Amino acid sequence: MKTQKLLFLSTMSSLVKYTLLLLCLFFSLHSFAEEKNKQTEGVLCRMVVKGNDTVPHIILRTVYVFPPEKFKNKRQEKFYWKTVYNVKKVLPYAKVVGKILAETNDTLMKIPKEKDRKKYMKQLEKNIFKTYEGDMKKFTLSQGKLLIQLIDRECDQTSYSLIKSYRGGFVAAFWQGFARLLGADLKSDFDIRSSEKDKMVERIILLVESGQL
């Protein structure tokens, strides 16, 4: 079990260098840190002028109402709350990918020479590996699997497809082989129509994003 965990940690560390997902984090987390350090006073909101009165116009976020969770046993309840924890930890990374993927593609489209595009990607890889290797090593196997699925949810592309697009089919097949040895699958998709587990994860995501969980 210890050997499997060490192999998984090593593989996750290496995947940092080859997936577009992890490349995108370099930009997003830097922006997040800048926003966090800003000091603001009051709240900016829209307004509606009625006669001589100025009335704040605030759009409330959606509130989701689901039937209460019913657990057959303690083990099922424990699994649910573990999934909640994993979603909260992994979802921000997947969200970053969905937002930054388009920006990264736009940047590459503006670089005419293949040599310069490779140089650009190589530098991003170095920066990401140096900055976020430690974070990725802390991911558990279940969190790694969930991240793979949420990439598909946010980008409408599997991790395998992303690696293949940006690093080639050989590299994609290579890392898919490692993932399979650990019980993961880079081709995993997110399908709430046919998977009860994915339905549960989707419900958790909606509640987390609305601040209800």
> So where are the chain's domains?
2-32+59-209
Rounded to an integer, the average pLDDT of 37-65 is: 75
Instruction: Determine phi and psi for 147, rounding to 5 degrees.
Output: -60, -40
Return the percentage of the chain with pLDDT > 90, whole number. 15
Nearest to 211 by CA among 64, 33, 32: 64
Distance of alpha carbon 94 from alpha carbon 44, whole angstroms: 28
Name the amino acid, one letter, at 184.
Answer: A
Sign of CA dihedral 84, 32, 189, 1: negative
Predicted pLDDT at 132: 62
Report whether pLDDT(105) > 80. no
Arithmetic mean of pLDDT over the chain: 77
Instruction: Name the pLDDT band for 84 (thresholds 50, 70, 90).
Output: very high
**Residue 41: predicted pLDDT:** 64
Q: Where are the beta strands (DSSP E) in the chain?
A: 46-50, 53-57
Residue range 189-199, pLDDT digits in tens? 898 888 889 99
Please tell me which of 22-31, 105-114, 139-148 the model is most confident about, judged by mean pLDDT. Answer: 139-148
pTM: 0.69
Average of per-residue pLDDT across 144-164: 87
Mean pLDDT of 120-142: 74
Q: How far is CA 4 from CA 11, 72, 143, 160, 178, in A?
A: 10, 31, 15, 22, 12
The pLDDT, as a whole number, for residue 78 is: 94
Residue 35 has pLDDT above 80, yes or no: no
- What's the rounded Cα separation, in Å, for the pair 124 and 101? 13
pLDDT at 205 over 90: yes
